[in-house]
Structure 1
Amino acid sequence: MNELSVEGSNSVALQVREELARRRLSRQWLADEAKISLSTLEKALAGSRPFTFSTVVRIEDALGTSLRSRSENGVRMLAPESMGAYARAAVQWLEGTYLTLRPSFSEAGAVFAYLTSVDWDDDKGHLVFSEASRTDSEYEQKGFVSFPNISGAIYLVTISEGQYRMALLNRPSGGGLSGILLTLAAGEGAQLTPAAVPISLTSTRGNTDAAVGVIRDGHECYEEYRACVDRITQRCYARFPA
C-alpha cells in the first residue's frame, strides 16, 4: 500500500499548510519544487485524496523537514528518500540475524563466518545493520541499509570518519542474500588494500549457534560454507570479470 492512512494524510496536510503559511510560500512553489502537479497537491491538502509515501518524501525534500507520520508507539515508518524511501511494512521480511560468509583474507581457501543483524531503528526511521561474533571484533561493522526501488538491490553501508565500506546484495531465487563486499583488507605491514569478495547472508531463523570464525578445510561446516560462497560466482549472483 503506497497511500497514507486518512489520519496520517490529514496530519501531513496540516503540517504542510503550517509550513507554507509560516514561510510565506505558495502551493505552486511547493508543487514545482517537489515535482508534483498542483492538482495533486491541492487535492491532498483538501483531504479529497490521500498522500502517497512518494509524494510525502518529495515534499519533505522540498521543504527540508520531516513530515512522516509515526505509528501510535512513536516509530517512524518510512525511510529517507536517500535510502530508497521504503516503508517498514515492505521490508520487515529483511529483519533478522544472518550467518554471513565470505572468503578469508588471512588464509587462502578458508571461509570467514560471522553474524549480521538487520533491524528497524525506531528513532531514525530506517533499517540498520550490525555485525557480531567476529573473531576480529575490532573490525565489526554497523551502519544503515539502503533499498532503492529502482534496482531492488540491497546496500549495507558503513560510513566512519570518511571511510566507506559496503555490501551490495541481491535476492537470488535460491534464497538468502548474495552479492559483493567492498572493503579494505590488511596488506603488507600496516597497509590497507581495497578488496572485493563474494559475500553470502543466510537467515539463522533464530538459531545463532552456527560455527563462526575462520572455517578451514576439514572443519565439519567447511564444505557447506564453501559451497555458499562459491555458488555466488558459479550461478552469477555477482560478477567478477577477469
Structure 2
Amino acid sequence: MKKQPAAGPVTTRSEALDRIKTAMVEKKLTQAELADASDCHEKTIQNLLGGRSVRDQTLFDVCMVLGLDFHGLRDAWHGESVAVDNGGMNAKAQSGGVAPVYMGAYAQIAVDHYVGSYLTLRRSFSLPDTIVSYRTDITWDAEWPSLLFQERNRPDEPYAHRGRLYIPASSSFIHLVSLTKGAMRMIVVSQLDRAGEMRGIITTINKQRATMTPVATAILYARRENFDADAFGEITPKNRVYDEYKRLLDETVAEGYARLVG
C-alpha cells in the first residue's frame, strides 16, 4: 500500500487539500463514501474538496476517517503557520489511535481491554434445543482506527461476519455492526465487565426455507485465552457443554441484558 508522505507539516490550505485528496486515493474512498463515513452531507464534502470554508467539526470528522492530523490541517486551512512538526511525528501516527466521531471517537488506549478472543453463544435460528457456538476475535485496526471483529469457527462458515465496534460515550452498551453491500447486521451488548463477558441481543436475517426472515435472540461473548476442541459448532443437549452454555444464555435474559417482547 502506498504510504502517505510525511515530508513535514502542511502550512497552506492548498497543501491541506492535497493531503486530504491523497488520503482519499489511498483509502479508495469516493466523495459519497467519505461523506457517509464522516456523517455529513455530500455537498459539504464537495465544498471541502473545492477549497471552500467548512466547519472545524467537518474537518475533524474527515481527518478521523482519513487518519490525518486534525490540528495541523485545521491551522493550515485557516492560514495559521505551523512552526514545528512535533518532533517529526507523522500525521497518521498522531491521530491513528482515535476512532471516527460517528463510531464514538474512542481512543485506542481506552479500549485496549476489548482486544482478544471470545467464545460466542446464541440459540440456533432454525434448530430446536440447539445452541450455536463460535469464536469472535476483536483487534485494533490501525489503518481505519477502530476496533474490528471477525467471526471464526462457525458451523456455517460462509456466513461469518466481519465488522466494527461502535462505542457511544454515554451508554453502557456497545454495538457490533457489519455492513456488506447494504446488508446490515447489528449486535447490541453490554460493555465488557470484570468477568470478561458482554451480553445482549443480535438482530439479523435468517434463511427459513425459501425465504429470508428477520430474527433476534440473546447473545453472549465470554473472553477466553484457550478453547476446547469441541467448544464450537451446533451444541445439542447431548454435548457435555450444553448445560453450561444454556445457563449463560438464560442468565443473559433473566438478568435484563436482553428483553424479547411477545
TM-score, normalised on structure 2? 0.67
2:158 partner amino acid: E
Hey, what does 1:67 align to over in structure 2?
69
Q: 1:21 to 1:135 in 2, by over 3 A?
A: closer
Number of residue pairs aligned between Structure 1 and Structure 2: 198
Q: Secondary structure at the match of 1:106?
A: coil
The residue type equivalent to 2:103 in the other structure is M
Alignment partner of 1:18 out of 1, 9, 12: 12
Where does residue 34 of structure 1 map in the other structure?
56
1:188 CA drift (Å): 2.5
SS at match of 1:237: coil
Supply the AA of the counterpart residue of 1:127. Answer: L
Partner of 1:213: 233
Instruction: Compute the displacement of 1:139 (Å).
Output: 0.4
Stretches of structure 2 lacking an aligned partner (at least 5 in a row) = 1-5, 18-47, 71-90
Q: Is the 8 A contact 1:99 1:210 kept in 2?
A: no
| CA–CA separation in structure 2 for the residues paired with 1:155 and 1:183 | 13
Inter-partner Cα distance in structure 2 for 1:184 and 1:21: 46
Aligned match of 2:206 = 185
Task: Give the distance between the partners of 1:82 and 1:151, measured in 2 at CA.
Answer: 14
Q: Do structure 1's residue 143 and structure 2's residue 145 form an aligned pair?
A: no
Distance 1:140 1:233 in 2: 24
> 1:97 Cα shift?
0.7
Cα 1:161/1:228, change in 2 over 3 Å: same
Give 2:110's aligned amino acid: A
Q: Which amino acid aligns with 2:119?
A: L
- Counting only pairs closer than 5 Å after superposition, residues 72-87 of structure 1 correspond to structure 2 as 76-87=96-107
Superposed displacement of residue 174, structure 1: 5.7
CA distance in 2, matches of 1:149, 1:88: 14
Q: Which amino acid aligns with 2:199?
A: S
- Please give the alpha-carbon distance, in whole angstroms, between the structure 1 residues aligned to 2:62 and 2:124: 45
Secondary structure of the 1:194 match is strand
Corresponding residue to 1:161 among 165, 178, 181: 181
**TM-score between the two structures when normalised by the length of structure 1:** 0.72
Identify unmatched segments of 5+ residues in structure 1.
1-10, 36-57
- Determine the C-alpha separation between the residues in 2 that align with 1:21 and 1:131: 41
Percent identical across equivalent pairs? 29
1:127 partner SS: strand
Q: How far does the alpha carbon of each residue in 1:36-93 deviate from its partner, in whole angstroms, 9 at most, with x for none?
A: xxxxxxxxxxxxxxxxxxxxxx641377963255448xx8201001110000000000
Deviations, residues 121-146 of structure 1 (Å, cap 9, x unaligned):
11111111110001111100001111
Give how far 1:20 is off.
Answer: 8.5
Q: Residue type matched to 1:161 in 2?
A: K
RMSD of equivalent CA atoms = 2.8
Deviation at 1:22, TM superposition (A): 6.3
Q: Does the C-alpha gap of structure 1 residues 62 and 121 become closer, same or farther in structure 2, counting only changes over 3 Å? A: closer
Query: Partner of 1:6 in structure 2?
Result: none
2:123 to 93, 103, 121: 103
User: Matched residues in 2 for 1:219 and 1:211: separation?
Assistant: 10
Match of 1:198 in 2: 218
